[in-house]
Amino acid sequence: MNLKYYNLPNDFHKLNSIQGGKMTHIFNYTKINNNNLYLENNFTSDEAKKAFYNGIWTIKFHGSNGFITKENNIIKLWERRDIKNKNLSEIKDEFIELNYINHNNNYNKTVLPDEYQSNEKKHKYIFIKIDTNTKKWKILYPRMEKLLNNIDTLYQSIEYVGKKIQGNEKQFNWNNIKNHDYGIVFHSSVIYQINDFSFVNLIDIAKNLKIEGWVIYHNNKAWKIRTNMLVPDNLAAFDKKNESDCKPFVF
């Protein structure tokens, strides 16, 4: 396993990012014995196939999707919210739309759709600002203030993790942090350098390596592969309750 860990905040400009839209799977899939499983080498598009062979592979982390911004020395933490068919005028919290992020000059990375069709349901995503009175904010904000002290402007996607997020703090390296209730992992902070692109090799990895999967970046877009869709759940090494074989740094 050949991994590369980026050093934050020094390397933050090297990170790819996901602005909250839903990623497309690299492979088409079908349901077999109540499991969603990929069809061997059946790519969702020619573009996905090019990404598979030529893209940047990063480790996919199990958590809750979010975003962090710093503008005019003000740090804000955002959580992705699926508002479905709601009108934006109904949202009472402070929020940002994905289109605002996509067209902001400070964000020129991966662009995904703000609407996503799944199982005949339409999903529409925005980011809701985390309330400053919540425990999550009070724990995370001081960490981010210290981490981003020398960074003037930041637009970056993150994953919220921890005991209060996905119930398992053992999948991450907590970077000498004592409180494991809430933490932040930066997307694309762990590069996975793969040499064998065969479907058979991916199946072997899924059975033996405890990771949720990969996010693959190519031409300013992103695709995903989940290990529990390469093989049935009972054969996949990754379990949401177990430790991970690849522990990204948590801030």
**Can you give the pLDDT of all 251 residues of the chain as single tens digits?**
689 999 888 898 888 888 777 788 999 999 999 889 999 999 999 999 999 999 999 999 999 999 999 999 999 999 999 888 788 888 889 998 888 887 777 775 666 766 776 666 778 888 999 999 999 999 999 999 999 999 999 889 999 999 999 888 999 999 999 999 999 999 999 999 999 999 999 999 999 999 999 999 999 889 999 999 999 999 999 988 888 999 999 99
d(Cα 126, Cα 21) in Å, to the nearest integer?
Answer: 9
Q: Are 111 and 221 in contact (CB under 8 A)?
A: yes
What pLDDT score was predicted for residue 159? 95
d(Cα 200, Cα 193) in Å, to the nearest integer?
Answer: 17
Cα-Cα-Cα-Cα dihedral sign, residues 46, 47, 52, 55: positive
Coarse DSSP helix, strand, coil percentages of the chain, rounded to the nearest 5 percent:
20, 35, 45
Q: Which residue has the tokens 């590369």?
A: 4
d(Cα 211, Cα 227) in Å, to the nearest integer?
Answer: 7
3-class state of residue 200 by DSSP: helix
Nearest to 15 by CA among 152, 109, 149, 140: 109
What pLDDT score was predicted for residue 118? 66
What pLDDT score was predicted for residue 105? 77
What pLDDT score was predicted for residue 231? 97
pTM of the model: 0.91
